[in-house]
Structure 1
Amino acid sequence: MQLIQKQKKMIKAFLFISMIFFIALPLFSQQDNTGRRQFYDLVELTKIIQRARDAGFSEEELKNLEIKESGVTINVNDYMNEILARRKIADEKLKAFLSKRFLTVGDVYHEMVNLEPDVLTKLREELVSER
């Protein structure tokens, strides 16, 4: 009897610990990308860079330009290069996909029309040879 109660307590404790683990794990595994999520729009970043140029920033200072958002520091130049590299990869994938040739209904139809005389002659030969 005591063994069954101990087993029930152990199962409850295991379930409790596993629930805490599954609830807390996503909280700890999240990376701190909150600052990066704020600036997905490249137009806004280019406006910020243009304002900095108008204010008299040199090219060296523009390369080192950083934005603080929610306590996270983002290097604008690195971030824009990263986004442009991602877009380039996505464009290359799209270009490769679009360059592939896929069968269309017209392709299948033309293939069937081209093969039809061969099929008819084979059938005719089979019928003649059977007699």
Structure 2
Amino acid sequence: MSKAYSQEYSFTNLTSKNGLAGNQVYAMAQDSSGFIWFGTESGLSRFDGSKFVNYTSKDGLPDNEVLALFVDSKNRLWISYFKNAIAYYSKGKFYTGSNDSVLRKLVLRESVGSPFLVPFKSRLFHSLVSVLKPLGRSGA
């Protein structure tokens, strides 16, 4: 009779006590640099494996409640908010409708928890339950 060995898994529960922006995490994404991003009810957190850097509306986010995250092929972090807004983070800077001409032209008509707009081959697509659909000229 051979012996059976079980594997023990180790994990760390990270909370606002450890530096996370908020305890309610709505979304997570990992960029190509290895950072793990957390969208919370109180802001956006970037985790490098040991410490958090937090971002809020004071840092240029349209809203503190981050609902969805997506990292594209250019390593831009796309961010969707509780407030009907979309932004992205690239090379150390946040881009919103106030400082990006393409985002300024977007009209988001969906409500809270709505599908996420993501870039794909220089076009914006409307993602609904993992199904990508091209946006029409009217944005619908």
TM-score range, shorter chain: under 0.3
Where relative contact order (Cα < 8 A, 6+ residues apart) is larger, the structure is 1
Q: Looking at secondary structure, tell me which structure has more helix per residue.
A: 1
TM (norm. structure 2) is 0.22
TM (norm. structure 1) is 0.23
Q: Looking at secondary structure, tell me which structure has more strand per residue.
A: 2
When Rg is computed on C-alpha atoms for both structures, the one with the higher figure is 1
